[in-house]
């Protein structure tokens, strides 16, 4: 079922607030760590007592920082400031997802769902959720368009959020596993995109290597996902318009 | 209504929220009185009858001790998260 513009805007606002709150918690965590890891010992000076009705809010506040820590704060540190305006990326992510969604009615070109590639390939398991990395890679390849693939790849990184760099298998993170599957599947394919991906990923195994190969690096030459997502966010509107125009042309033709 | 200790650390007043014993060390979780968003963790020591707060040695120690806090208060957190 398609979302109305109003519902879509509301969802974007929700994401905006979620990301803003996450950034705040991350900063709080860093601040607490900095003030706690100190080479300092001092006598305990008691200043009296305070009566508090419920300290639950404080406990939740500290626990939230621990959750960020357990959930992979490394990714938060690399994306926390690039999500100030995620609207375009979110729209692009959903639209691209629609192109490869089984619910997409290719005859009528009606988008029956508004799910990103990531959400289509996320499954509930006993302890939470898991991604099907192979299915994600297959969906990216199914886009069959180099430019769209590049946007979809970074859009996927954006969608994974704090789970992007979670180590899943050995030293492989979620996104590394997607890269591994992209390499594997494209190595025996013949389409233009499969050959493109196969060549591109020949010496790439990690997201950092991917970013460096695309020249998304900071002043010191370190991989910079934030920069990549900022660029994609700027270009997303143009890509959305292009997808829309392609759809219109197909309808006419 | 419960009473909590207020202690002075580096000139700022903190509320002692909790203590957890981890691997023979006592860790104290403190939140700043004037800004409850700010919290710190200290190791509690008793030397020759005197009480001391000592800073943590590494980020790894901080991370470990913080996750113990979550583990202890998992129920409160789970029942109240959005």
Q: Supply the ipTM of this predicted assembly.
A: 0.94
Which residues touch A214 (CB under 8 Å, ≥6 apart)?
A150, A228
- Which chain B positions have a beta carbon within 8 Å of A57's beta carbon? 36
- The 8-class DSSP code of residue B65 comes to H
3-class SS of residue B19: strand
DSSP collapsed to 3 states, A61-129: HHHHHHHHHHCCHHHHHHHCCCCCCCHHHHHHHHHHHHHHCCCCECCCCECCCCCCHHHHCEEEECCEE
pLDDT bracket for residue B37 (50, 70, 90): confident
Token readout for A48 is 């009296």
Residues 6+ away with beta carbon under 8 Å from A168 = A174, A177
Residue A96's domain comprises 5-252
Q: What pLDDT tens digit does each residue of chain A (253 aa) get?
A: 455 555 555 555 555 545 555 667 778 888 899 999 999 899 999 988 887 766 777 887 787 777 766 653 333 333 333 333 445 666 667 777 666 665 444 444 344 445 788 887 887 666 667 888 898 999 899 888 888 898 889 989 988 888 888 887 777 889 999 999 999 999 988 899 999 999 999 999 999 999 999 888 887 889 989 888 877 776 776 666 666 666 666 555 5
B79 has a pLDDT exceeding 90: no
Q: What is the mean pLDDT of residues B6-21?
A: 93
Spatial distance between the Cα atoms of A15 and A8, rounded to a whole number of angstroms: 11
How many domains does one find in chain A?
1
Compute CA distances A157 → A86, A134, A214, whole Å.
Answer: 13, 15, 14
pLDDT tens readout for residues B38-75 = 899 999 999 999 999 999 999 888 988 988 888 888 77
Cα B3 to Cα A64: distance, rounded to the nearest angstrom: 24
Measured between CB atoms, does A49 come within 8 Å of chain B? yes
pLDDT of residue A3: 53
Contact of A46 with chain B, judged by CB distance below 8 Å, is answered with: yes
**DSSP string of A227-241?**
HHHHHHHHHHHHHHH
Is A196 in contact with A148 (CB distance < 8 Å)? no
Residues of A within 8 A of B9 (CB-CB) are: 42, 45
Scored b (16 or more CB within 10 A) or e, B9-45 reads: beeebbbbbbebeeeeeebbbbbbbeeebbbbbbbbe
Q: Give the tokens for residue B42.
A: 């200290």
Domain locations along chain B:
6-80
pTM: 0.47
* Residues in B 12-41 with any Cβ partner in A closer than 8 A: 13, 15, 17-18, 29, 31, 33, 36-41
Top pLDDT among A193 and B82 is at A193
């Amino acid at each position: 079922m398609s979302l109305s513009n109003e519902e879509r805007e509301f969802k974007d606002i929700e994401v905006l607030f979620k990301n803003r709150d996450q950034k705040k918690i991350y900063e709080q965590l860093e601040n607490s760590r900095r003030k706690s890891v100190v080479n300092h010992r001092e006598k305990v000076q008691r200043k009296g007592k305070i009566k508090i009705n419920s300290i639950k809010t404080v406990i939740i506040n500290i626990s939230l920082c621990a959750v960020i820590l357990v959930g992979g704060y490394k990714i938060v540190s690399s994306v926390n400031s690039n999500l100030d305006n995620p609207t375009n990326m979110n729209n692009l992510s959903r639209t691209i997802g629609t192109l490869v969604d089984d619910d997409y009615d290719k005859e009528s070109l009606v988008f029956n769902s508004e799910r990103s590639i990531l959400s289509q390939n996320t499954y509930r398991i006993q302890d939470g959720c898991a991604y099907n990395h192979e299915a994600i890679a297959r969906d990216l390849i199914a886009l069959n368009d180099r430019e769209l693939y590049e946007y979809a790849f970074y859009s996927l990184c954006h969608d994974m959020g704090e789970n992007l760099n979670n180590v899943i298998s050995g030293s492989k993170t979620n996104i590394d596993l997607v890269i591994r599957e992209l390499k594997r599947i494209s190595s025996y394919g013949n389409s233009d995109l499969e050959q493109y991906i196969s060549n591109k990923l020949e010496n790439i195994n990690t997201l950092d290597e991917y970013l460096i190969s695309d020249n998304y690096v900071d002043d010191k030459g370190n991989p910079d996902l934030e920069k990549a997502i900022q660029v994609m966010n700027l270009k997303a509107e143009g890509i959305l318009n292009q997808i829309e125009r392609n759809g219109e042309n197909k309808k006419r033709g | 209504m419960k009473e909590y200790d207020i202690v002075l650390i580096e000139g700022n007043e903190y509320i002692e929220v909790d203590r957890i014993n981890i691997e023979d060390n006592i860790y104290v979780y403190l939140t700043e009185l004037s800004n409850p968003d700010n919290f710190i963790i200290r190791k509690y020591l008793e030397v020759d009858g005197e009480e001391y707060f000592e800073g943590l040695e590494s980020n790894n120690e901080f991370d470990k001790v913080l996750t113990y806090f979550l583990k202890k208060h998992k129920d409160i957190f789970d029942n109240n998260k959005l």
